[in-house]
Amino acid sequence: MSIIQALILGIIQGLTEFLPVSSSGHLELVKALFGDESLPQESLTFTVVLHFATALSTLVVFRKEVFEIIKGLFQFKWNEEWIFSIKIIISMLPAVFIGLFFEKELEALFSGRILFVGFMLLITAALLFLADRAKKTAKNVSYTNAFIIGISQAIAMLPGISRSGATISTSVLLGVDRERAARFSFLMVVPLIFGKVAKDIMKGEINFESSQIGVLSVGFIAAFVAGLLACTWMIAIVKKSKLSYFAIYCLIIGSIAIGYKIFFA
């Protein structure tokens, strides 16, 4: 993988992790576009590094909220921070279940399946269209909401289904306040990313040579900076009910992917 490819993939990951257009789907499409056989071989370590970068950018954007949560937890009494943390844990359960019992089946979908990614992008577009037309409310995330949103997050492990798009859309359709929906959506994935990184490290699946440090560093920095911008931008977009623009984008990209696979591949 070249420095330029790492830069492009890092920017794409950073932007699409937060913007509702599916980071995994776009990475698969870009890999197919590059036509480089080395990308799938390096993808595990590189993908983990990119996800770690976007998780850190989330912590930076929500640093005040994260600090308040940590401070509240150390008070060791029932408060809003403990309630929020329990909801985060509840939301993680479906994705953890899929990751533990269906990891191999899931990984099989990340092998240049352009047609599959295209159809999943169309589903993402439909979700965004529906969410953009939902009524605005001031409702908070309930325990039941957290689990349902978690199911959406688990489904979004499929390439082409936007995680942020699916979780925010589900939250809004459940009647959750839009800003709270975006906040919950971005924070709920952070423990999963760090958990996945720790798991891969302990299993010895993340290996890289000294020659890869430059490529990984470029990808990490690109994903981190792009993630900071995209996360901040996305919060404003959700509040202003502008998800339909991304729905149109997903519809176009998904249709192009399907058309390319059917007529040219």
Domain-by-domain residue ranges, the chain?
A: 3-263
Does residue 32 have a pLDDT over 80?
no
Whole-structure pTM value: 0.87
Contact call for residues 25 and 121 (beta carbons, < 8 A): yes
What does the pLDDT read at residue 213? 83
* Contact between residue 42 and residue 265 where contact means Cβ atoms under 8 Å apart: no
> Position of tokens 């099989």?
108
How do residues 92-146 score in pLDDT, each as one tens digit? 999 999 988 887 888 777 776 789 999 999 999 999 999 988 888 889 999 999 9
Question: Of 98-112, 181-195, 216-230, which range is least confident?
Answer: 98-112
Q: Model confidence at 59, in pLDDT bands (50, 70, 90)?
A: very high
Task: Say what the pLDDT of residue 211 is.
Answer: 67
d(CA 80, CA 64): 15
- Maximum distance among all alpha carbons in the chain? 61
Q: What is the rounded average pLDDT for all residues in the chain?
A: 87
Nearest CA to 200 among 47, 38, 54? 47
pLDDT mean over 193-207: 77
